[in-house]
Amino acid sequence: MEWGIIGRKPKSKNSEKFAESGIIKEIKMLTSLIIGIISGWIAGRIMGVKKGGFIKTIAIGIAGSFVGGGIMSLVGFYAYGFLANIMVSVLGACIFLYIAKKIFK
């Protein structure tokens, strides 16, 4: 298992040419859901969210991965591996929850 790092994205010519099979896409989707569950749960605990079900936790985690990934790409970094993706997703989910609290208060 690759734990991952956060660093600059490598410039690979083959990564754009790689055609993914159906099973690879399904595994990536399942991995995204798992990362969403874990990061949503961690971010909810960090930010003190008391109410929330399973679907809300997944939604927070997935939104957090988009927010965190967007912020990291703006800075010029990319998360490699499972643990690094969780760290970026938790960061993004905390930012997402902070903004949501400010808007809906």
- Tell me the per-residue pLDDT of 32-66, one tens digit each, with 9 for 90 and over: 888 888 898 898 889 888 777 778 888 888 888 88
Listed by start position, the domains of the chain span 22-103
Our CA dihedral for 80, 81, 83, 87, rounded to 10 degrees, sits at: 30
- Tell me the per-residue pLDDT of 75-91, one tens digit each, with 9 for 90 and over: 888 778 888 888 989 99
Q: Which residues, in sequence order, are CB contacts of 47 under 8 Å at separation 6+? A: 94, 97, 98, 101
pTM beyond 0.85: no
- Where residue 2 falls among pLDDT bands split at 50, 70, 90? very low
End-to-end CA separation in angstroms for the chain: 42
Q: What is the CA radius of gyration of the chain?
A: 15
Q: Cα 17 from chain centroid?
A: 24
